[in-house]
Structure 1
Amino acid sequence: MTPPLDISRRQFLTASAVTAGAALLAGCSPAATASGTQTLQFWHLLSGGDGVIMSSLLDGVNKAQDAYRIRPTVLAWGTPYYTKLAMAAAGGRAPDVAVMHATRVLGWAPGGLLDAWDLDRLAELGVDERTFPKPIWQKGEVDGEHLSIALDAHPFVLMYNTDICEKAGVLDSDGQLMRASTPEEFLDLVTAVAEASEGHGLSYGYLGDGAQMWRLFYTLYAQHGTEMKLPEGGEAEIDTDVAVESLTYMQTLLDGKLAAKQSDYGTAVAEFSTGKSGLFLTGVWELRTMQDAGIPFDVAPIPPIFGTPAAYADSHSFVLPHQTRPNEQRRDLTYQFVADMLKGSFDWATAGHIPAYLPVTESPEYQDLLPQAHYAEAATYVVYDPPAWFTGSGSNFQSEFGAAAQPALLSGSDPAAAIERFTSRVNRFLSQPNPADPEGSRS
């Protein structure tokens, strides 16, 4: 079985050795302008609408001061990005700062591919645990060190067409979606919306998309007040009863009337964006899509139908790729850059993401930003992938969940068998060493 990482251990070690020399040469290039302004190298993986807004934010911080200038490098999302960043970090002369998904950080920690953030240094700039929602701040800590600082949270949410939902009688006196508090109440709500819609009550695309299946499944799983634990070298600790109940509920929604039994992500986007369905389970990243579509819609957190508020999410986070001999002046300016980005992240919310910096989301201006303010509470109860070196956005872990779960969602076959298949695959992952861990590479 192929190790569930972007590259194999042998490929990683070989490529790292080759890249180290190139990285050292790259680090010798001038890093300051004639005026004394330091140039900071910043790698990220944001493209499309996110990329446009990120460029605008970078232009803003560049123009606001003369101490540093950001030189961004944009690489393809997923495997290409993480592979190149890992190899640059292994060479010891990586960019000054980079963006990673918070869920991918743990896999890098054992190999020393990331430098820890100095929390005292950040606190002097107005960035500390008091300025972040608790789960988002805590996600940045690995083995007692803070390895990432979140720019945002981008949770799974429930979008709804306000015209259709008004027709269905499921809006409250404020014109917002009634919040179901039990599985039965949510089914009743979706049923009412289905009767008022041209197509389905709920759009949810999942075919061939393990990440989509996982996002909804783990939201429902976490709403039971439990979490998965994946101890290194051990066996997965998964509450089978909760997992089966969560997957069974997904089957119930995909009955062909409430939601299409067979729908890929693009089809679900098209159905909701053209006004043919009243509800849409998706990520906040589709906010701009629906605004551009011109439909009347709002956004709500996924209701806590199993008792505990929870929403699957990830975070775009700032990391310090390892540098063998960091330039302390540029390192100081890197801290300043991150603080500037956090404090100026209001416009990042226009992409749909929830800014992680509380002074932004608690500001009067943000409360007037709609529909973003209607789902901002989700940042206080986001849940991330269970920590393990092989989990996270774009990982094979999520793909393997999809491979196990999709047959059950398509055919209505035994969800318990699907969970058993998934657990078996996770246990195989756990039996393999982290390719980025020097100790594991010798085993």
Structure 2
Amino acid sequence: MKRALTAAVAVALAVTGCSAAGERAAGPVEITIWHGQEDESAKSIEKLVARFNQTHRDVRVRTESGGATADGMLPKITAALASDAYPDIAYLYGSWAANVARSPKVADLSEHVKDPAVGWTDFWANEREAVTVQGKVIGFPAVVDNMVVLYNRKLLAKAGVTPPEPGWTWADFRATAKKTTDASAGVFGTTWAISGGEEAVWGLWPMIWQAGGDILSPDHKKAVFNSSAGQRSLDLLRAMTIDDKSVYLDSSPAEKGQKLFESGRLGLFMSGPWVLPDLQEAGIDYGVAQLPGTDGNHETVSGPDNWVVFEHDERRVKAAATFLSWLTAAEQQLVWMTDTGSLPIRESITKLPGYQDYLKKYPGIDVVSANLANAKRIRPPTTKYPRVSSFVADAIAQTLLGKSDAKTALDQAVAKTDAALAVPGS
């Protein structure tokens, strides 16, 4: 999915001056980080690394691109691990954690994060869950987000629709999308991706969770997304698409949703905080609301990303943990957030004096930030998740294109998922 999300940054930390057993090493420990970030995000991380190097004498951090942005970091890291040319730290999507953790070269920071100075419990619970695989802490939280609904104030006013209120429902969402649709003007109520990627399923999960369903069984051995909750959720999207004709089906791998919203052709757009700087630049008059709810439940979906640490030797792992503890501290994170529009990865950040200035800089970010309280679950931490996602994405496309009903499409996706989950391997 677009974790679309901000561009990713690759950072590597290489150690020099190895000491003999029992001797103190000469000079600082050097580590490399592959941050995978671009544009303002890249400038911000480089600035923070320079600040760390100026204030810490025992550790020196070197940043590198790693030859990839965040989207392409997994294959780069996989190849680097095979050739022993891997960094000390890399920015990796949280959904990759289960796959990455299979490598014996991934460090275990479980003991490091117990240090009170780290403030581990200050991170949001879903972030800690995303960076922990089978009890092994593989790094530090890097970025957290969540899904909200962006709405075009002018289109809603033109259609005579009241902006979303805190207690709005999916029935309200459907009604608003239908009223703001104007086919003759090329305006749609909302959009849904059918290109087969994570973007297609990203919005379905919270609908299922809110209705009391889930993606997989607790032991991750069976798929359960074809429950009544799953069927009702997909049926709603089908009705909006086929009956109301209020949904623009986005079949482009490049995902046109944001561009359509920026050009004033979408009334409602389900997305995340990463689009706010672009919307400001585009000059669109937008508002932000939490997702519609079911029986008062407004649970959303979140995709935390991680700074994963790789093991070269004990000194470098310790140095990496020292740097990440500093980088993810509230003061440094507020700098990063103000530069990039990212959300607070620690609850304590919201108590800092400069937090209000951050909120003013990004209109609507206050709603997205507060919505972190509704981000209660993460996608299943299993190596099979990418296949699960692709099966469900296909089921969504078949249903919204009118080639299948929701039950049949989801049942078929469950059968494929169960077969994949039954194959040995974590």
Whether these two folds match at TM > 0.5 is yes
Q: Note the 1:31-46 alignment, pairs <5 A.
A: 36-46=27-37
Q: Note the 1:55-204 alignment, pairs <5 A.
A: 55-74=46-65, 75-77=67-69, 80-89=72-81, 94-119=86-111, 121=113, 123-129=115-121, 131-168=122-159, 170=161, 177-194=164-181, 199-204=186-191
Paired position in structure 1 for 2:368: 375
Q: Deviations over 1:194-253 (max 9, x none)?
A: 479954353324131421111011121111233222577843233521111111112233
| 1:349 equivalenced with 2:352 (yes/no) | no
Paired position in structure 2 for 1:254: 241
Cα distance change, pair 197–345 in 1 and its aligned pair in 2 (3 A): farther
How many Å separate the matches in 2 of 1:280 and 1:233? 31
Residue type of the alignment partner of 1:402: A
2:107–2:317 Cα contact (<8 Å) kept? no
| 1:430 equivalenced with 2:418 (yes/no) | no
Paired position in structure 2 for 1:338: 324
Pick the aligned partner of 1:224 from 201, 207, 211.
Answer: 211
Cα distance change, pair 306–70 in 1 and its aligned pair in 2 (3 A): farther
How many Å separate the matches in 1 of 2:18 and 2:277? 36
2:15–2:30 Cα contact (<8 Å) kept? no
Gapped regions of structure 2 (runs ≥ 5) = 1-11, 20-24
Q: Note the 1:270-349 alignment, pairs <5 A.
A: 270-305=259-294, 307-323=296-312, 325-327=313-315, 330-343=316-329, 344-349=332-337
Residue type of the alignment partner of 1:308: N
2:174–2:240 Cα contact (<8 Å) kept? yes
1:66: how far off?
A: 3.9
How many Å separate the matches in 2 of 1:35 and 1:290? 50
Q: Deviations over 1:15-59 (max 9, x none)?
A: xxxxxxxx9xx9786689x99343221123333554344334434
How many Å separate the matches in 2 of 1:68 and 1:354? 28
How many Å separate the matches in 1 of 2:135 and 2:75? 26
TM-score (norm. length: structure 1): 0.78
Cα distance change, pair 140–426 in 1 and its aligned pair in 2 (3 A): same
How many Å separate the matches in 2 of 1:199 and 1:101? 35
1:210–1:401 Cα contact (<8 Å) kept? no
Paired position in structure 2 for 1:404: 395
| 1:388 equivalenced with 2:382 (yes/no) | yes
How many Å separate the matches in 2 of 1:262 and 1:94? 37
Cα distance change, pair 82–164 in 1 and its aligned pair in 2 (3 A): same
1:96–1:331 Cα contact (<8 Å) kept? yes
Query: Which of structures 1 and 2 has the larger relative contact order (alpha carbons within 8 angstroms, sep 6+)?
Result: 1
1:254–1:409 Cα contact (<8 Å) kept? yes
Paired position in structure 2 for 1:363: 352
1:416: how far off?
A: 0.8
Q: Deviations over 1:262-320 (max 9, x none)?
A: 55464322221012323211232222221221212232321223542222221121222
1:385: how far off?
A: 1.4
1:82: how far off?
A: 1.6
How many Å separate the matches in 2 of 1:246 and 1:60? 48
How many Å separate the matches in 2 of 1:397 and 1:289? 31
Identity of aligned residues (%): 20
Pick the aligned partner of 1:417 from 408, 411, 418.
Answer: 408
| 1:54 equivalenced with 2:45 (yes/no) | yes
Q: Deviations over 1:40-86 (max 9, x none)?
A: 21123333554344334434433444443322232424785223323
Counterpart secondary structure, 1:226: coil
How many Å separate the matches in 2 of 1:251 and 1:410? 8
How many Å separate the matches in 2 of 1:337 and 1:197? 56
How many Å separate the matches in 1 of 2:295 and 2:388? 25
TM-score (norm. length: structure 2): 0.81
Cα distance change, pair 332–178 in 1 and its aligned pair in 2 (3 A): same
Cα distance change, pair 271–83 in 1 and its aligned pair in 2 (3 A): closer
How many Å separate the matches in 2 of 1:292 and 1:305? 34
2:191–2:249 Cα contact (<8 Å) kept? no
How many Å separate the matches in 2 of 1:193 and 1:348? 37
Gapped regions of structure 1 (runs ≥ 5) = 1-22, 438-443
How many Å separate the matches in 1 of 2:352 and 2:184? 37
1:97: how far off?
A: 1.8
How many Å separate the matches in 2 of 1:199 and 1:348? 38
Q: Note the 1:5-20 alignment, pairs <5 A.
A: none
2:33–2:63 Cα contact (<8 Å) kept? yes
1:405: how far off?
A: 1.9
Residue type of the alignment partner of 1:258: S
